[in-house]
Amino acid sequence: MFGHSYKVIEIVNQNTLLIDYGFSAGAQKGDCMRIVAIGDAVVIDGADYGTLDTIKDVVEVVIPYEKFSVCQKITRTVNNPLAPLFALEKTMTKLNPLNVDPDSMSHRKIPNGDSKIQVGDIAQKIDN
């Protein structure tokens, strides 16, 4: 479960967001934040399990200020110049069906994360 929720307060450009999470709230360079749209409640047999949120993206705090942080999506890769053929490697993924009882399926709509980030979206700190 996530603690306090923050929000996207400005979209500077295609690479940079401002989030109202600053060092006065504990922000540090390298903190990861997920940008979400709150989804439908998941209530099963009367038990509330939270919401099935759309995770729009994950960003990293690159510069924390007192009341906000500059955040960007950072990807880190390791290239080995001594092994040039590794650049040709490709990872393939395949979804395999589970052995489930078809009568037990709920057919709940699962968010796909294709939504665009907007000012006002919720940002939640991910524990590193």
Residue 26 has pLDDT above 80, yes or no: yes
Segment of 34-43, 58-67, 84-93 carrying the highest mean pLDDT: 58-67
Say what the pLDDT of residue 61 is. 97
Q: What residues form DSSP beta bridges with 60?
A: 32, 72
Residue 1 has pLDDT above 60, yes or no: no
Please tell me the pTM assigned to this model. 0.77
Taking only the tens place, the pLDDT of each residue in 41-73 is 999 999 999 999 999 999 999 999 999 999 999
Q: How far apart are CA 124 and CA 8, in angstroms?
A: 10
Say what the pLDDT of residue 25 is. 96
